[in-house]
Structure 1
Amino acid sequence: MGISAVMVHWFARLHKKRAFADANSIVELGPQDVMTTPAIFQSALGPMTDKAAMADLLGEMFKDGRPKPWAQQALYRHLGLQDYNSIDMFDPRANWRLDLNYPCRLPRRFSVVTNFGSSEHIFDIAQSFRTVHDLLEPGGIALFVLPAFGDIDHGFWNVHPTVYFDVAQENGYSILDFVYIDNFGVRCRLAEERPDEPFGFRDLPIKVEDCIQPNLPRTVTLQYIQNLNNPDTARLGMEFPCIVFDYCFVALRKPGEGEEQGFVFPTQGKYRAS
C-alpha cells in the first residue's frame, strides 16, 4: 500500500494534534510510495506551511507531476521526522531486508513506527503487532492504516477495530486517533477530484463510538450496502478489485519511560476505548 489522498489529510490532522511534536525518527514496515497528487499536499499541508516551504516540498516529492521514489522521506521530514528508516523483505530501498513474520532485532528504536498496509500481508500477523511495539521507543507513536472490511484476498487478513482497542488496553497505549474510513478507495478518488476541499473526518458515517459497540457489525454492513449503491461508487469504485472496502486509521502512543512492558497479546474481551 502507498500514501493515498486520505492519508495525507490524516497526517495533517495528526500534525494539528501535535502528535509528532517530540518525534524525530521513523521506521516504516515497508517503504511507502506516494500515490496521490501535488494538489492534495497543497490542500492538506498548505494551510500550515508557508508558500516557499510548500514549493520546496513539492519540488522534492514530484517531478512532472509524478511522485519520486523517495517522496515519502520528504513528506516525513516536513512533519519533523528527520531520521527515516524502513524494513522490507523485497524492496531495495529498505534499510533492513527482513522477513516480518519473525522478530526484528534492530540496534535502535524509533519515535514513530508506521504499519501502512503491511500486517495483512504477514502470515504471522500477531508478530507484526509485537514488532511495532518492540521498535517503538518509550512514548513513541504507532500509526496503522489497515483493511477492516471488504478487502477480500488483499493479503491474508482484515484487521477489525477491536484489535486496536484490545491491544491498547492490554499494553497501556493511549489512543491518539481512531478513524473508520468506509469506502476508502472511492473516498480517495473523491478527495483528488475536489482537492481544494478539506477532508471531512467528522462527517464520516461510522464513528469511533460505533466501533466500541456490539452493533458494529450491523452498522458496517448497512453502510457497505449503502456505499455499494452510491453513484460515486458506480463511477469510481470499479477501479478497485473489491469495489467497496473499509480501512481503519489508528494512532497509538506507547507508555513512557519506566512504564513500558513487553508486548502482551490480548485475549478478546469487551471493547473499551482508552
Structure 2
Amino acid sequence: MERYGLLSAGRKVLDYGSSNLYTATAEEVAAFVRRHNPRPRADLDTWAERFAAGSLADASGSALNQSFVGEMFEEAGMGYDAIDIAVGYKTTVVDLNTSRLPENMVGAYDTVLNFGTSEHILNQMNVFATIHAATKEGGLIMHSVPSVGFVDHGYYCYTSRFFFDLAGYNQYEVVDMWFDGPVSNENIFASARQYQSYFPALTKRLELIGQVERETVLDRTGIPVIALQIVYRKQKNVPFMGTVETSTSVGSVPAEVLGSYNR
C-alpha cells in the first residue's frame, strides 16, 4: 500500500469497515510509524508492544480483535475515519444499502479503502457510489475483495471485468491490479489482457505472471480462494456512473439504454 502512495503522513484515510490489525509484531508497528512520522510519541516502542499484542490470537486461536489499523495510521500522522453499519473505531454508522454518504465526508479523503466490506452489502450501486463520492479528485481508492472461492463469505465475489468497467465509466486510472491466493486452471487474467490497452499498468502486471509467488492455502474442499486487489486514482471529479456489461448480449442493446452510460 505504501508503494502506491495510499499511506503517508498528512493523508486523510476513509476505511470501509473499521479494520482490525492482525498478527503484527511490535517492530513492524514501530517501523511503520517511524517511516511516516519523524516525531513519533516518546513511548512509541512501549505503545507498539501493547498494540501488537492486541493483534494476536488467544489460546484458542481466535483473534483478539483489540487493535485497529486506524490507531496505527493516526500515530503515523494520518487522518482516519471509518464507515460501517456497526459501531467501531472512529466509525460513522451508515446503512450503505440505503443511505447517501454524509455531506461532511463528500470529497474529503485522499485515500479510500474497501478491504472486505462491499461484498456484504446488497446494494452494490450505492456502496460504490459512496466510495466515489468520498474520494478527492486525484485521490486513491483500493479494493481488496473476494474473487474466486469464498463460498460462505458475504454475498458477492467479483470479476476483474467489473472493476475495469467501473474504472472506465468513472474515468479512474488503474494504478495496478493483482490477485492473491492459489491460482487454478481458470484464466483469471483474461479480462486484464483485454483491457490493457486502456490501462497501461495492466501490461506491467501481466509481465509478472509466473514470477510473483502467491499464497498456497486451500479450503477443505480444495476450492481455490483468490482475492482481487485493485488500486485506482480518481482523475476527475465527475458524477458517479454505474456500469453496463454487454459481452454476452446476443441481441442489440437499444440506443436509449446505452445512451445513459455515455458521457
TM-score range for the pair, normalised by the shorter chain length? 0.5 to 0.7
Letter in structure 1 aligned against 2:225: F
Q: What corresponds to 1:58 in structure 2? A: 48
Q: Which residue of 2 aligns with 1:244?
A: 224
Pick from 100, 103, 108 the counterpart of residue 106 of structure 1: 103
Instruction: Name the amino acid aligned to 2:224.
Output: V
**Could you say which residue in structure 2 is the equivalent of 1:88?**
84
Structure ranking higher in helix proportion: 1
- Find the counterpart in structure 2 of residue 25 from structure 1: 12
Deviation at 1:19, TM superposition (A): 4.1
Per-residue CA deviation, residues 41-62 of structure 1 (Å, 9 max, x unaligned), is: 37x9599689x97846733632
Tell me the distance in 1 between the aligned counterparts of 2:158 and 2:138: 24
- C-alpha deviation, 1:263, in angstroms: 0.4
- The answer (yes or no) to whether the contact 2:146–2:227 under 8 Å persists in 1 is yes
Aligned to 2:241: 264
Partner-residue secondary structure (3-state), 1:176: strand
Aligned counterpart, 2:133: 134
The letter of the residue matching 2:244 is T
SS in 2 for 1:69: coil
Measured in 1, the distance between the counterparts of 2:121 and 2:243 equals 19
Match of 1:229 in 2: none
Give distance in 2, aligned partners of 1:94 and 1:242: 38
1:160 counterpart = 2:140? no
Structure 1 residue 171 displacement after superposition: 0.8
Q: Bigger radius of gyration, 1 or 2?
A: 2
How far apart are 1:26 and its partner, in Å? 0.9
Q: What is the CA RMSD across the aligned residues, in angstroms?
A: 3.9
What is the aligned counterpart of 2:25 among 27, 35, 38?
38
Structure 1 residues 175, 61: closer, same or farther in 2, change over 3 A? farther
Q: Please give the TM-score of this superposition, normalised by the length of structure 1.
A: 0.64
Call closer, same or farther: CA 1:207–1:260 in 2, change over 3 Å.
farther
1:7 — aligned with what? none
Question: Scaled by the length of structure 2, what TM-score is found?
Answer: 0.66
Q: Gaps (5+ residues) in structure 2?
A: 57-63, 195-214, 248-263
Q: What is the alpha-carbon distance in structure 2 between the residues aligned to residue 242 and residue 94 of structure 1?
A: 38
Q: Which amino acid aligns with 2:171?
A: G
* Separation (CA, whole Å) in 1 of partners of 2:28 and 2:94: 31
Note the alpha carbon deviations across 1:118-165, whole angstroms, 9 max, x for none.
011000112111110011111111111100011123111101111111
Alpha-carbon deviations, 1:228-269, whole Å to 9, x = none? xxxx95xx545x7886311011111101xxx31110112125
Amino acid paired to 2:86:
F
Distance 1:206 1:79 in 2: 41
Alignment of 1:150-189 (within 5 A): 150-183=149-182
Structure 1: which 5+ runs fail to align? 1-10, 185-204, 215-231
Q: Which amino acid aligns with 1:127?
A: N
Select the structure with the greater relative contact order (CA < 8 A; seq sep ≥ 6).
1
